[in-house]
Structure 1
């Protein structure tokens, strides 16, 4: 990067009243949460207006349906095939469309807001359902067994535990506990939902055959679909061989040959499939079979992986689209990566589907990741700015990013870094009118 390029002045941020959509509290994620909650509140208000909640004989059926509807949204929006479909639909827009539309479509990776909103609403409706069951039991106005109330109370406790563990502060501090809770408590909740569904159907229709009741129950069929959705990734569980190259004690390059994923996707791997799973960006090479992952030391699991290199790892599900997959919505893109964040960026650099300008900030890139990887990047992107922090110190990535966007004429910036830096760069860029994207750490 020449001296002239680095002299581009960073403008002031727009006034807050002119950019409310760029503030974290108004993120697309939070907007989707509010959309779901708003729809549920509207349903609640409508029920109050027509007297549904206290006069209808079918109030338990209605509340049960609302729980299942929100639960379905919560689970299905995280299904890998659904995620890939959402990304596929969002990226169908041609680059001839107005940038205002394309920059909004590129926020597709905020779909987790539907997951969170649905989960909150499902728990709230379940609390109302449980309260209604207790009231009807005490009043003697409905067929509600003590078994159903007891099982529902336990299920409500499990759902609350999962919700508490998913709170951002708790999830970040106790991430392994969060993952285990979501996995094992989630399975327990699914089994308990099946039990409550069967008992509820029996209690509400004691004189009709259970099979007949279930055949006409929308909740039963949705629960069946949700069970299949949850089981599907595990039905694809397999142990595959890997080969590793360790250029340093900080990083390892893992090679897979069992299939070739698409650029912009990720794969979840594990050494013990019932416990920890970690997702890494796939690095396929154009015209070559297989793919690589870059794993850098960032905790106990990655440290053990580097020091005690396995010959096989477990994989499950299918490769899933990630944030950088939205690059095709833009005519040109600036990528900012730090450290092993080069992993999610490299497949796009190699594929060359979109004109790219790369800024990579890392410690001793050749010593850490190997000459072969650095040379591969430079062959594909000769103009890449590789900033060695051991030699040059920490860069002003905001200034570098803005300069690159202006000098390259890029339509958008994508940042792959740690949570703090990613959120800061995305907000700072968007506050200056530049579409910016980066992971949101919502799972």
Structure 2
């Protein structure tokens, strides 16, 4: 299994947060940190199905099987984004290179079969995480198809405008750029998408709705990042065209308008370059901050641009036409109002709240908050709200509170272990992601490795529309995640919760385990949270046998 002295890999599951009201005896209780109780009254016992393990209550004289820190990690990369993104984890991106080096080292040390594990598979040569993200997702993914369709429609409109066959677009080229900016804003608006996801579950989450409609909707909603990216590039193209037209008729405009439009164009180009996959992978913090502050600056300048263009009078070469009725009739104004509203709305809900942070191990922390949250909802936290935000999946019983499970893999999450805060900044407007769409199905299998389990625990702790079976591949549950997480996963029927401890059974064939579980459970869909390679393998294996499956993608 590799060198035992290696620093274990762990990553936070993007979108995992917990809120809790103080309540004595509740696992979500925000109280003072306490030491882990090692006299646990439960033990992990083997059972035959799939070679996995279940938690059963036992007498105190039994001892739990010891294990090392988990080497599995869950990479929920979200768009932030994280994101997560996507499910997607900002912290995992910060240490991606270290993880890749460890994967290569582990691949060089083949796993030996033992009496306990005669069927352990030999490890395969490790692929670069970047190659999996960028090159191994296929040429015709839903994300890329949405990108291509949206970009093609924009280019058709642009060509028609240039050739004189679309005079309206030629006259309103700047407005078409703003339309694209509004579309890309909506595709990343947590408030807007929360409504869209809620409507999808409400309308399509009925037994009589055909499965292919549900899976098609899931594919689309998971891949709206393709529209976001395409509209970003298209807005640049339309604005370039608008600037060219303006420069060809300089007598009808002012230098101020040209300067402001050129600055906006430069900021849009900077944001697009920062979002280029290679830059985003290697320098995620640069991408995140560039996107945020360049976007805010461009939005402020957009207001200036709209006001200047409406108020400028070519005849007098002055800004004498700026009147309320004239301004209110311009579509550019209302497009800018909508962009501004959806941009600032999440920030209006930012607040500093008390938290309780405990570290069940040196590799993970549990952050507790007040307030129950619906299963599948994600949240963001920060120590410095203007600097960086980190998205995590939310675990909650839906009543007393919620919490976040954060693997210590980056500066932020390591700081939660070494220097636990008493308060954190949160966004009150939480967002929905792929896990929330599980509520749209009748029966689902949820597959997680390592800390990825956090995003699925809520489906076990509270009543949900979907009947779920959870498959968890991990190592050293109590040692890595603590007694609370262990108790949350225990006490369920063995066919509903399958836990495979790699310390006891070695590395399993997760893809085959998932297929078997889906068939036994008669699942409509499989949702997996793992590292990029793990998610890819499970999703591809399920699709090959006709089982709909979804996992976090690079820019969901």
TM-score of the aligned structures, taking structure 2 as reference length:
0.71
Residue 382 (structure 1) shift: 3.8
Structure 1 212/150 Cα, relative in aligned 2: closer, same or farther at 3 Å?
same
Match of 1:122 in 2: 235
Deviates most, 388-397 or 206-215: 206-215
Post-superposition CA distance 1:242-294 (Å, at most 9, x none): 0122111111111101x3221100110000011110011111114x3221111
**Residues 1:358 and 2:464 aligned together:** no
**Residues 1:105 and 2:217 aligned together:** yes
Choose from 188, 191, 194 the match for 1:81. Answer: 191
Structure 1 270/381 Cα, relative in aligned 2: closer, same or farther at 3 Å?
farther
Choose from 275, 278, 286 the match for 1:169. Answer: 278
Residue 2 (structure 1) shift: 6.4
Match of 1:18 in 2: none
1:28-427 matched pairs, under 5 angstroms: 28-48=142-162, 50-52=164-166, 59=170, 61-91=171-201, 92-93=203-204, 94-107=206-219, 108-137=221-250, 140=251, 143-203=252-312, 208-257=321-370, 259-286=371-398, 288-353=399-464, 354-383=466-495, 384-427=497-540
Residue 207 (structure 1) shift: 5.3
Between the aligned partners of 1:64 and 1:153, the Cα distance in structure 2 is 12
Residue 381 (structure 1) shift: 5.0
Q: 1:280–1:293: 8 Å Cα contact kept in structure 2? A: yes
Between the aligned partners of 1:233 and 1:375, the Cα distance in structure 2 is 34
Between the aligned partners of 1:363 and 1:170, the Cα distance in structure 2 is 33
Between the aligned partners of 1:204 and 1:37, the Cα distance in structure 2 is 34
Match of 2:89 in 1: none
Output the aligned Cα RMSD: 2.2
Residue 328 (structure 1) shift: 2.4
Match of 2:35 in 1: none
Residue 440 (structure 1) shift: 1.6
Structure 1 317/43 Cα, relative in aligned 2: closer, same or farther at 3 Å?
farther
Q: 2:257–2:309: 8 Å Cα contact kept in structure 1? A: yes
Q: 1:95–1:329: 8 Å Cα contact kept in structure 2? A: no
Between the aligned partners of 2:424 and 2:474, the Cα distance in structure 1 is 28
Residue 49 (structure 1) shift: 5.7
Structure 2 unpaired stretches of 5+: 1-45, 52-135
Residue 389 (structure 1) shift: 2.2
Greater helix fraction, Structure 1 or Structure 2:
1
Between the aligned partners of 2:409 and 2:196, the Cα distance in structure 1 is 30
Residue 5 (structure 1) shift: 5.7
Q: 1:324–1:344: 8 Å Cα contact kept in structure 2? A: yes
Question: When the two structures are aligned, how many residues end up with a matched partner?
Answer: 418
Q: 1:23–1:427: 8 Å Cα contact kept in structure 2? A: no
Residue 83 (structure 1) shift: 0.6
Q: 2:310–2:321: 8 Å Cα contact kept in structure 1? A: no
Between the aligned partners of 1:220 and 1:180, the Cα distance in structure 2 is 27
Residue 347 (structure 1) shift: 0.4
Post-superposition CA distance 1:73-110 (Å, at most 9, x none): 11122212211111122222112222222211222222
Match of 2:24 in 1: none
Between the aligned partners of 2:50 and 2:152, the Cα distance in structure 1 is 47
Q: 2:158–2:238: 8 Å Cα contact kept in structure 1? A: no
TM-score of the aligned structures, taking structure 1 as reference length:
0.88
Q: 2:442–2:524: 8 Å Cα contact kept in structure 1? A: yes
Deviates most, 351-360 or 161-170: 351-360
Post-superposition CA distance 1:111-136 (Å, at most 9, x none): 22221121121111011111222222
Structure 1 351/382 Cα, relative in aligned 2: closer, same or farther at 3 Å?
farther
Q: SS of 2:508's equivalent?
A: coil
Structure 1 295/23 Cα, relative in aligned 2: closer, same or farther at 3 Å?
closer
